[in-house]
Structure 1
C-alpha cells in the first residue's frame, strides 16, 4: 500500500453563502414544522454539511458515484469502501442566513492499520468555517475510513443501551435517503442503487447515510430541548443501518454540565452510532 502520510498538512479553502432554501428542505426531510428561515436567522447546527458541496462534472465520477479519487484527499484506490466514521464538532459562533462563509480544511492525520478484514486507512480532516478572514464559527474534525472488499460489508452490532428517556423511532425509506442525498449532492450509489449496493459492495440494503443518522440524533436534542444552544457534538459510527428496517434515536436527559448521551440502534437492538452533545 502507498504511504499516504505525505498528504498530512495539505489544505483547501472553499467559499459559499448560507442559503435558506436547502435548510428549509432539510427541516422538511427531518419532519420538522419550523417556519421558513429569513435573512439574518440563525442556521441550525450542522448546516455547514449542506454547503461547500462537491461540483465535479458527471464525467469525473467514479464507479461508486463519488468523484474519482485524488486531489485534496489521498487517492486510496486499493480500498474501495469508504465511509464517514465520525466527527468532533464545536460551535463557538453562529452561521446566519445570507452570510458569506469560508471553509478552511486541513488534512490533520492519516493512519494506516490492519484490521480483522485487512488494511484500513483513516483520514482526519479539520474544517474551520467562518466569515472570510474571520474566526471559526464551526469547527468540524471529520474522520473518513477506507476499507477493502474482503470480509462482510456490515459486521454484527454490539448491543445498544436500554431505551433512553428521549426516544424517536423511524423507518428510513428510499425517499428519505434520496432527499438527503439530493440535499448534500451525494452521488454515492450505496444510498440509492440497490443492485450496485448488493452486488458490488455486499450490503443487504440501501445504506442510511452516517451524517443523516448524526443529524437525526442532534435533531432529537433540538426536539427535547428546543430553547437550548448546541455548544459541541461528537459521534462515532458503529454499524450501518439499512432502509426499510426500523431504527431508533435515543438520548439521556442532560447531566449537570449539559452533556447529553445519544445513540442510534437498529431493529435488533444493536448499536449503530454513539454520540454526545453539550448544550447551554
Structure 2
C-alpha cells in the first residue's frame, strides 16, 4: 500500500509541476535528470532516421528479381558473365519518416515553455521516471537554445524528405519558381550529416549528461550575443538550503 501511495503522490506531483522546480518562478529551472531520460526516449528517432537516410542515399535504387536473371552467354572485358534481368526502379514513401519528424519537432518546441510542456507525453514519462532520483536543477534558457538547434535540424530533414511540398510552398509564397518541384535539390550530405550530429548530441546528453547545445549557448553568452542570469546562481542547491533552514527552525523552536 505504501508503494501505491508513493506512486500516486509522485504522479500528482508530476501532473502539477512536471519536470519544473516551480512552474511560477522566474527564471524557470528544470530537472536535468528528467531531461536526460527524455533525450534517451527520443533517441530512437534519429537512429531510425540515420538508417533511413543511409539506405536512401547509399542503398540500391533498383529492385532486381533474381528469378528473372538470364545468362546472355556473353562476358564483359573483365571476363564477368553478363546477365539480362528485370529491374524495377525503387520508389520511396517517406510518410512514416515525415510523421516521426513532425512529432520530434513538436517535442523540441513543446519543452521550451512551461505551458507547452504540458502537451508533451515524453515530459510526463521522463518526469515520473526521474522521481526516485535526486533532482539536478538547471536553467531552462540553455536547454531552450539546444532544442532550437534540434528543431532546426529536424526542419532541414523534413525538407529533404518532402522537397516538392516545400518547393511548392516557397514558389507559391514568392510567386516565382525558385525551387524545382520534380527533383531533389538538397545535397544528400546535408541531412545525413545533421542526423548524425543530432544523434551524437542526444547520445552524449543521455549517457554522459553533457549538453552540447547548452555549452554553445554558454559560449554565446560569454561573447555577448546572448544574456542570461548569473551563472554562479545556476549552481545553487535550493533543496539543501531549504533543508538547512528547516533544521534551523526546528532547533530554534525546540
State the TM-score, normalizing by the size of structure 1.
0.23
**Higher normalized contact order (CA 8 Å, seq sep 6+, divided by chain length):** 2
State the TM-score, normalizing by the size of structure 2.
0.25
Structure with the higher fraction of residues in helix conformation: 2
Structure with the higher fraction of residues in strand conformation: 1
Larger radius of gyration: 2
